């Protein structure tokens, strides 16, 4: 029995290594995603499909799989920062929700649409990620830590595009249902505590 347990622990320790290697070789991977940090977009133990991605093509709102401290994490990109020797720029959202790029350097800030943004090879990209159910951001992720992009989620036996309008509306509904349940439990506990 001890041999089986140690073999299981070794396979769990090897899982991030295996996923990393497969994605770096260009393969798509499917696996069960533990945790609740991406609720309601990805629920605990749902199967996600991840495909390799070039960090240069990552966009705001993408769900990215990255490696940190020997673990794999899939969270949403909420900011992209890039550094060069001469200037620092960051992609941010303007008041209309459109992605804009601000370049700060010796000259006044230049503003241009993110679709026009050009990145040179000397720029270092850093990504700000956050789980949908988390209140705080992850520590900034370097381009070298990014392994792939979540391209589908298997829920109730059906494969779903996590970026589709249908999935987004479904997640919004699940989020409101969870809030109503919490409110109902809180009201019930108050009535139970103070009587009727």
Distance between CA atoms of residues 152 and 164, nearest Å:
10
pLDDT for res 195: 66
| Structure-block tokens of residue 52 | 């390799």
b/e per residue 23-55 (b: at least 16 CB within 10 A)? beeeeebeeebeeebbbbbbeeebebbbbbbeb
pLDDT along the chain (196 residues), means of 10: 37 85 96 93 94 96 95 96 61 41 37 41 82 94 96 92 93 90 90 74
Burial category of 133 from C-beta neighbours within 10 Å (exposed 0-12, middle 13-18, buried 19 and up): middle
Query: What are the residue boundaries of the structural domains of the chain, listed by start?
Result: 13-190
Question: 13-190: which CATH topology?
Answer: Umud Fragment, subunit A (2.10.109)
Output the pLDDT for position 114.
39
Q: 65 and 74 in contact (C-beta within 8 Å)?
A: yes
Q: Is the pTM of this model over 0.95?
A: no
Contact criterion met (CB below 8 Å) for 147 and 72: yes
């Amino acid at each position: 029995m001890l041999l089986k347990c140690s073999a299981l622990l070794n396979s769990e320790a090897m899982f991030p290594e295996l996923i990393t290697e497969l994605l770096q070789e260009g393969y798509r991977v499917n696996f069960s995603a533990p945790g609740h940090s991406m609720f309601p977009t990805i629920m605990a133990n749902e199967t996600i499909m991840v495909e390799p991605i070039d960090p240069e093509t990552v966009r705001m709102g993408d769900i990215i799989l990255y490696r940190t401290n020997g673990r794999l994490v899939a969270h949403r990109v909420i900011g992209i920062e890039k550094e060069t020797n001469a200037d620092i720029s960051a992609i941010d959202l303007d008041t209309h929700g459109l992605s804009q790029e601000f370049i700060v350097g010796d000259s006044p800030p230049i503003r241009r649409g993110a679709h026009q943004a050009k990145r040179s090879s000397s720029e270092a990209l850093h990504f700000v990620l956050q789980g949908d159910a988390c209140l705080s951001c992850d520590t900034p992720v370097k381009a070298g830590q990014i392994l792939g992009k979540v391209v589908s989620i298997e829920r109730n036996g059906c494969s779903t595009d996590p970026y589709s309008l249908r999935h987004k509306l479904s997640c919004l509904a699940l989020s409101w249902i969870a809030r109503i349940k919490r409110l109902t439990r809180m009201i019930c506990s108050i009535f139970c505590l103070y009587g009727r």
